[in-house]
A = this chain, B = another copy of it.
Amino acid sequence: MKFEEFEEVTVKRETLFSGQIIELAVDDVRLPNGELAKRELVFHNGAVGIIAITADERIVLVKQFRKPLEKVILEIPAGKIDDTDGNTLETAQRELEEETGFQGNNWEFVIEFSSAPGFTNEILYIYQATGLKKVDNPLPQDEDELIELHYLTLAEAKAAIASGEIYDGKTILAIQYWELMQLRGK
């Protein structure tokens, strides 16, 4: 089937909330069969995540509290795209430095994906950074972010997935990607 046979056309949009991070809207849509339905939509500016690998083959992770989960988890460094950012690589370089104090010599785009296509347009842009070095005076962390750095081998990262300490999609995807690169001998 073609795009037109799937498309749900917005008949009416009601924006119910505009916050710092997200915007909420409810659409009335017309389905391909002519019926009407509601769609609850969370708009987000998108974010970056960084697979940062040290010279001794450890991945740089940040430990932080995540209010929606009421949990402390280990994640790859990540951050929201600002409207003033030129491109997602620039965002990734800034976020890596802000969250970890590292700059990377080599940057490679890995993949982009939708985090939860059922209700949000948030897209994640994942980069890999190597050739890491600590900056003397790194960009300051966001004031309301408390972060602890961890450096895990692949075996330790896989154990952290198994224990639930690593618990979010982008970080699990990143560890799997790292393992696939190693198995392929890259």
The answer to whether A69 touches B168 (Cβ under 8 A) is no
The answer to whether B22 touches A40 (Cβ under 8 A) is yes
A167 to B66 CA separation, bound complex (whole angstroms): 25
Q: For A161, list chain B residues within 8 Å (CB).
A: 111
The answer to whether A118 touches B66 (Cβ under 8 A) is yes
**B17, B65, B172, B173: which contacts A16 (Cβ < 8 A)?**
B17
Instruction: Output the nearest chain B residue to A5 by Cβ-Cβ distance.
Output: B146
- Is A8 located at the chain interface by the 8 A CB criterion? yes
Residue interface bits A134-165, CB-to-B below 8 A is 1, else 0: 00000000011010100000000000010000
Instruction: Output the nearest chain B residue to A179 by Cβ-Cβ distance.
Output: B180
Interface centre among A16, A72, A117, A172, by most chain B C-beta atoms within 10 angstroms, is A117
User: Contact residue range for chain A?
Assistant: 35 or more
The answer to whether A67 touches B41 (Cβ under 8 A) is yes
The answer to whether B47 touches A20 (Cβ under 8 A) is no
Residue interface bits A61-89, CB-to-B below 8 A is 1, else 0: 00111111100110100101000000000
Q: For A66, list chain B residues within 8 Å (CB).
A: 114, 117-118
**B7, B69, B72, B173: which contacts A3 (Cβ < 8 A)?**
B72
**B16, B33, B68, B117: which contacts A118 (Cβ < 8 A)?**
B68
